[in-house]
Amino acid sequence: EQAQEEQQPQEQQAQAEQQPQEQQANAEQQPQEQQAQAEEQANAEQQPQEQRAQAEEQANAEQQPQEQQAQAEEQANAEQQAQAEQDPAKQQEQAVAEANELLEDVRQHPEATPLAEERMAEARDEMQKAAEALAKDEQQEAQEEMQEAQKDLERLAEHLKGLDQENVLETMEKARDKAEEAADRLEELAQQEQQPQDPQDPQQQQQQEQQAQAQQQPQDPQDPQDPQQQQAQAQAQQQAQNPAEQPQQAQTPAEQREEIAREAETLADWMKRMGETKTEDREKVAEKLNEARKELEAEQLPEDIREAAKDREEGREEQAAEQDRKAAERLREMAKTFEEERKELVKNQLERLAEAEAQTKRLAEEVEREAKEPTPPKPDKPTTNEKLSELAEDYQELQDEKMEELGKRLETEVAPQNLDATGTDGQEVPEDVTQDALEPGARRLRQLIDEIVEREMLIDRDRRVPEEYRPLVDTYFKELSDDARE
């Protein structure tokens, strides 16, 4: 027992001494474990990055052939395009293909007429001939065919634009000018052909002789000290290489007559289309145009012009002169008809604009009044909202983009869901429609009226204001003066 008692303090002392050693060992081991955990976490984070890098590297490796293929295709296309640009024949083949597509579009276009289709087909045929000539290396013939195709396409573009009835006033103005010009040209041509042929202008004859001698004689080496001769030679070589830059020869009388006949065809086609468009404000105008077309035999006029040319070629001078005189008279009557009906349309348009402006002002006052003191609806009388709905429709029928936009906005504002009923006995008043809301419409209408009046004053410079517009203009400027005083 005594030995055990003596041993117990020794064991306790040994334990006490061992405990700090264990704590120190644990303390030393803990940073090592934390370091191991940190390294393990770093490895775990690094692994996705390595996987991502490998995936990107693999994607780049897969994308590289695609990029190389795209670059190769792009280079091939560029080379093919460059080759096509250097090859006029291939260019012309492409133009013919596009012309065929355009011809199909013209055939399917609702505004196109048989004459428009015929002219597009002519242009396509000229382009086809040019392509065939280029394939045979016949540069001069190809150039002539391309020039004809270009004229046909320009004529077709103007023709199609005139068939669009959205710009009928502009077309009528152009048709009037074309008819007057055609009549002048026909009369001038007839006078020239009736007069005896004068000897050729000496200066012109000398130039032609010099040109012929230059073509026949071999080209001698030019004096390098003479810059004028060098410049002349360079210009001659450039014109030979570029036929398109050579001055065009004057048209023969037969070619001039054919041009006039083609203009007459266009005018007849425009007049027919205008006569077929019978809207509410154009019904009377359409009737007048149809009557004039039948009276003037507009469709027959081009053939009569060509017949006069044939009579002259065959020596029937008097008959040809009579045909020319009658054709010129018909063209002038056609120009007069276009101008009269154009003015009628302008008058109708001014009346509609003036009425819309007056109605806008009346309704602006009515809306303001109803907002302050609502009044009950009257039997068999339209409400303010119904009047505004009708005004919105009128705005959209004025063939003006801004007025159409204002009309749609007003139509939305007076819709049933936007109305504020003031009571069973009160008038329905649009919530968002105020006097200020109608001001943009009134302002735009004034602008349109002003533009028409100014344009008509420019067209007819001899009179300050055309007589048929004077009452409207006087009323318009009186309202402007009243507004200015207010």
pLDDT at residue 221 is higher than 90: no
Q: What is the pLDDT of residue 89?
A: 62
pLDDT at residue 55 is higher than 70: no
**SS3 annotation, the chain:** CHHHHHHHHHHHHHHHHHHHHHHHHHHHHHHHHHHHHHHHHHHHHHHHHHHHHHHHHHHHHHHHHHHHHHHHHHHHHHHHHHHHHHCHHHHHHHHHHHHHHHHHHHHHCCCCCHHHHHHHHHHHHHHHHHHHHHHCCCHHHHHHHHHHHHHHHHHHHHHHHHHCHHHHHHHHHHHHHHHHHHHHHHHHHHHHHHCCCCCCCHHHHHHHHHHHHHHHCCCCCCCCCCHHHHHHHHHHHHHHHCHHHCCCCCCCHHHHHHHHHHHHHHHHHHHHHHHHCCCCCCHHHHHHHHHHHHHCCCCCHHHHHHHHHHHHHCCCHHHHHHHHHHHHHHHHHHHHHHHHHHHHHHHHHHHHHHHHHHHHHHHHHHHHHHHHCCCCCCCCCCCHHHHHHHHHHHHHCCCCHHHHHHHHHHHHHCCHHHEECCCCCCCCEECCCCHHHHHHHHHHHHHHHHHHHHHHHHHCCCCCCCHHHHHHHHHHHHHHHHHHHC
Domain spans of the chain?
A: 88-161, 345-372+382-420+427-485
24-28, 58-62, 191-195: which has the highest mean pLDDT? Answer: 191-195
Residues 6+ apart with CB under 8 A from 244: 143, 146, 147
Contact 257, 305 (CB under 8 A): yes
pLDDT at residue 129 is higher than 50: yes
Give the mean model confidence (pLDDT) for residues 339-366.
Answer: 93
Q: Which residue has the tokens 């000229």?
A: 126
pLDDT at residue 201 is higher than 50: yes
Q: Percent of the chain beyond pLDDT 70?
A: 58
pLDDT at residue 82 is higher than 60: no
Q: What is the pLDDT of residue 297?
A: 96
Q: What is the pLDDT of residue 63?
A: 56
- Mean pLDDT rounded to a whole number for the chain: 76
Quick: pLDDT tens for 101-126.
766 766 666 678 999 889 888 888 88
Q: What is the pLDDT of residue 219?
A: 45
pLDDT at residue 465 is higher than 70: no
CA distance to 174, 420, 457, 473, 475, per residue, from 466 (Å): 19, 47, 7, 10, 14
pLDDT at residue 275 is higher than 80: yes
Give the mean model confidence (pLDDT) for residues 449-472.
Answer: 67
Closest CA to 113 of 154, 148, 165: 165
Q: What is the pLDDT of residue 426?
A: 47
* Cα–Cα distance measured from residue 77 to residue 65, given in angstroms and rounded to the nearest whole number: 18
pLDDT at residue 303 is higher than 90: yes
Quick: pLDDT tens for 26-39.
656 666 666 676 67
> Residue 333: which pLDDT band, with cuts at 50, 70 and 90?
very high
Q: What is the pLDDT of residue 211?
A: 56
Q: Of 234 and 407, which is predicted with more confidence? A: 407
Q: What is the pLDDT of residue 61?
A: 56
Q: What is the pLDDT of residue 101?
A: 73
Quick: pLDDT tens for 246-261.
455 677 888 899 999 9
pLDDT at residue 469 is higher than 90: no
Q: Percent of the chain beyond pLDDT 90?
A: 30
Is the torsion defined by CA of 466, 469, 475, 477 positive or negative?
negative
Q: What is the pLDDT of residue 484?
A: 44
pLDDT at residue 291 is higher than 70: yes
**88 token code pair:** 């006029």
Residue 420: beta bridge partners?
A: 429
> Residue 287: which pLDDT band, with cuts at 50, 70 and 90?
very high
Q: What is the pLDDT of residue 420?
A: 53
Q: What is the pLDDT of residue 73?
A: 62
* Cα–Cα distance measured from residue 341 to residue 274, given in angstroms and rounded to the nearest whole number: 10
pLDDT at residue 16 is higher than 70: no
Q: What is the pLDDT of residue 186?
A: 94
Span of 302-306, 308-312, 455-459 with lowest mean pLDDT: 455-459
Q: What is the pLDDT of residue 339?
A: 96
Residues 6+ apart with CB under 8 A from 117: 103, 106, 107
Span of 46-60, 204-218, 388-402, 423-437 with lowest mean pLDDT: 204-218
pLDDT at residue 329 is higher than 80: yes
